Amino acid sequence: SEINRYAEAAAGSWFSLSPQFAHVLDCALQVARASDGAFDPTLGHASELWGFGAGPAPAHVPTDRAAAATRARNWRDLELAEGGRLLLQPGGLALDLSGIAKGFAVDLGIGILQSIGIRHALLDIGGELRGIGVQPDGLPWWVDLEIPPGSTAPATRIGLCGWAVATSGCYRRQRQADGRIWSHSLDPQSGRPIDDTVLSASVLHRGCMQADALATAIMVLGAEEGIRFANAHAVPARIVTQDRVVTSTAWGAWLS
């Protein structure tokens, strides 16, 4: 795949990106800059280490030293040229776009539907959804947000009409070894999985790709910092912890 060919490219070489790849990477870097690296598209080695890459899950819990070694490079080491169509491989850098790719796929699918004349649709790919137009009865596309296992979050229904919603949760994809369970959400600073303080983060946005990446960033930031980030950038966000639900100002305004 294109992402694997980049990882295997020689140090110091420039890699040509396809238009779609360049589009996704550009959005990923925008969210990385806005979140000061809470969203980082260069977690390829860390994802592999913890069992969320192409290889098998680890038989034992990776050490702190091994996790730290995966963070020798980060999103700041990504250098683009020729309007974002060429990407430098500085050496040993591996991308992971799993925190944004599903949202992009939703946007791409909606775009294809619109190109063949479909104006009313709800598209769901792996829990990331975007609605255009309305249902046959004229109402918006109703979506019930997932209630994370073990939480006291109330049932929440939202209506999508020209909007997308993406949810990142620590309970969705997990691995285990040595009696320990961890989720696929990784801390770009340490290269280790985040704790389970935040069970899920949901974000509303006109674009599903943006909602997907922002939900991941907010999960990593945690409840307090996540809501501060959402308020600072006017992001409609809902965070579910083990004992409470917190929402951003924009989330409340959107629902009203």
Q: What is the pLDDT along the chain (256 residues), one digit of tens a residue?
A: 999 999 999 999 999 999 999 999 999 999 999 999 999 999 999 999 999 988 888 999 999 999 999 999 999 999 999 999 999 999 999 999 999 999 999 999 999 999 999 999 999 999 999 999 999 999 999 999 988 887 888 999 999 999 999 999 877 777 888 888 888 899 999 999 998 889 999 999 999 999 999 999 999 999 999 999 999 999 999 999 988 999 999 999 998 7
**pTM for the model:** 0.95
Distance set, CA 112 to CA 18, 37, 117, 133, 212 (Å): 18, 32, 9, 15, 19
In angstroms, the CA 249 to CA 112 distance is: 33
Which amino acid, 26? D
Contact by Cβ (8 Å): 27, 210? yes
Strand-strand pairing, 121-125 and 163-169: unpaired
SS3 21: helix
Nearest to 236 by CA among 170, 181, 154, 165: 165
List alpha helices for 95-240, DSSP H: 101-115, 208-221, 223-232
